């Protein structure tokens, strides 16, 4: 199972979370990655944790003020990127361009989607992984794997109808080992989470509980 911790814009210490994630990954053999703010990528990568960007722009070098270049996040130490998170929604053409830019920079990709039909659609664009996240459950602490298990199973089926080599992650409200085990039992190959770790008083303890469900 792949555990991708998205720090979003939460007021947590990204280096402290990254160090906790690296420790848990090393101790348990679980693949854990951290996606901080772009400005924190280098500091997070320096901890040795697998580091991901929260977004990259579908552009190359040029007059693109305010963009987040895939090559720049790779230079900062990121090895992957999210695309189309519900809080950073993209048009279909922009998702495709972002995927191409990420691939050119050697970044692995997780494309997010709200529901199974969207999972099928974005799977067709050729990401490395997809993540289904019902927006209404994000940040609620109510795990999608238990609140809406059908959406997870249907997302796995939707991706499989397009390309069964694309793993499906799930996210929204995931925080405990039971949530992770439920996600795995529904066919997910990983989870995307944020508040359960970024808002935790003890991120390492939160991650140890989470991965105990594997």
Residues 1-40 binding ligand G3H (CB under 6 A) are 6
Nearest to 170 by CA among 207, 137, 205: 137
By CB under 6 A, name the one of 36, 171, 190, 213 that touches ligand G3H.
171
Query: Is 107 in contact with 53 (CB distance < 8 Å)?
Result: yes
Q: Which of 40, 85, 154, 204 is catalytic?
A: 85
User: Which of the ranges 66-74, 103-111, 180-188, 193-201 carries the binding residues for ligand G3H, by CB under 6 A?
Assistant: 193-201
Binding to ligand G3H by residue 70, rule CB under 6 A? no
Beta strands in the chain (DSSP E): 2-6, 31-35, 50-53, 80-83, 108-113, 129-132, 168-171, 190-193
Residue 101 assigned as binding residue: no
Distances (CA, A) of 178 to 22, 26, 182, 184: 22, 21, 6, 10
Cβ proximity to ligand G3H, 73 vs 192, nearer residue = 192
Binding to ligand G3H by residue 173, rule CB under 6 A? yes
CA 131 to chain centre: 7
* Tokens read off for 123: 């799977």
Cβ proximity to ligand G3H, 63 vs 112, nearer residue = 112
* Tokens read off for 113: 């989607």
Q: Which of 19, 50, 55, 133 is catalytic?
A: 133
Q: How many residues bind ligand G3H (CB under 6 A)?
A: 14
Interface with ligand G3H by CB under 6 A: which residues?
6, 85, 133, 138-139, 171-174, 192-196
Q: List, as residue ranges, the binding site for substrate.
A: 6-8, 138, 173, 194-195
């Amino acid at each position: 199972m792949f555990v991708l911790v998205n720090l979003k814009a939460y007021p947590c210490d990204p280096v402290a979370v990254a160090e906790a994630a690296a420790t848990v990954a090393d101790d348990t053999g679980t693949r854990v990655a951290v996606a901080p703010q772009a400005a924190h990528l280098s500091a997070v990568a320096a901890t040795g944790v697998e580091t991901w960007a929260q977004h990259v722009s579908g552009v190359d070098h040029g007059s693109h003020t305010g963009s987040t270049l895939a090559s720049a996040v790779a230079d900062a130490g990121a090895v992957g990127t999210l695309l189309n998170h519900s809080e950073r929604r993209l048009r279909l053409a922009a998702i495709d361009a972002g995927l191409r830019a990420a691939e050119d920079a050697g970044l692995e990709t997780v494309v997010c989607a709200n529901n199974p039909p969207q999972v099928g659609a974005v799977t067709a664009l050729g990401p490395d992984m997809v993540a289904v996240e019902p927006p209404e459950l994000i940040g609620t602490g109510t795990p999608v794997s238990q609140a809406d298990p059908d959406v997870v199973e249907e997302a796995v089926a939707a991706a499989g109808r397009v390309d069964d080599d694309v793993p499906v992650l799930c996210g929204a409200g995931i925080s405990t080992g039971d949530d992770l085990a439920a996600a795995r039992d529904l066919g997910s190959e990983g989870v995307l989470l944020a508040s359960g770790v970024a808002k935790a008083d003890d991120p390492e303890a939160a991650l140890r509980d989470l991965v105990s469900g594997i």
